[in-house]
Structure 1
């Protein structure tokens, strides 16, 4: 299916670059929607899942909220608010940083790690939907996206 069909566009794009931009935005929304549907039964959002993965990557070391913000995929997310929500669900622990009382250290809990283990199967199943592309095509798309972002 083409982007024109997906968005029910009647006219032609002004340029291939405009088509690419619309296609990238549409595809991003499509991917995010699929991810949200996969995470919904577990009661977490895409942004919360991103925070948990960041914390798991640093486990057992604590991570400052500011560092979480820097590493997040969605730079517009409020990491402090996300940590508060994960804290309420007992997926993370928060402590005052001993070196800087203004900073807050966050660490993933065993409950958070257990959730990520459950989600690995769900994510693996979801990623199979991307297997309509070959490994070579996947690598090429990734390289092209990296190239596109390097033009900043």
Structure 2
């Protein structure tokens, strides 16, 4: 492959990633929630009520952040998550999403879906699958 083509493609991927993150951030800003906070809530929802540690949250985040503790503190202040001492290791804290957090996340999810709706028409299902495969191929997956 021509290295110039490769770098042009990488540049478009980076620009697109930033564009999506910034746009979703703007959508969530109305509710005083940041994109990383939204990401943490989605991770916690995926736990289906099982607690998870701060370190595990950090490992699963879309954008790795050293501020996970601060993000969780902000979510705690909003009543969206709960933090408790781990019963088997007092040095660890277990984090779970609250029922209120689940309700709010559903609302946030709907806003994000509405943002993406017009763009879903730009690619066919086959094109979207091809794009996903190509990105995974690029990453060596």
Q: Which residue of structure 2 aligns with residue 93 of structure 1?
A: 82
Give 1:75's aligned residue: 64
Secondary structure, counterpart of 1:42 in structure 2: coil
Which one has more relative contact order, counting CA pairs under 8 Å at least 6 apart?
2
Q: Which runs of 5+ in 1 are unaligned?
A: 1-13
Unaligned runs of 5+ in 2: none
Normalised to the residue count of structure 2, the TM-score between the two structures is 0.92
Bigger radius of gyration, 1 or 2?
1
Match of 2:45 in 1: 56
TM-score normalised according to structure 1 size: 0.86
CA contact (8 A) 1:52 1:112 kept: yes
Q: What does residue range 93-132 of structure 1 map to in structure 2 within 5 Å?
A: 93-131=82-120, 132=122
Match of 2:129 in 1: 139
- Give yes or no for contact 1:47–1:77 (8 Å, CA) kept in 2: no
Matched residue, 2:73: 84
Match in the other structure for 2:16 = 27
Indicate the SS of the match to 1:95: strand
**RMSD value over aligned CA atoms?**
1.4
> Aligned residues, how many?
138
1:56, 1:84 → 2: CA distance? 17
How much has 1:22 moved relative to structure 2? 1.2
Q: Matched residues in 2 for 1:105 and 1:48: separation?
A: 17
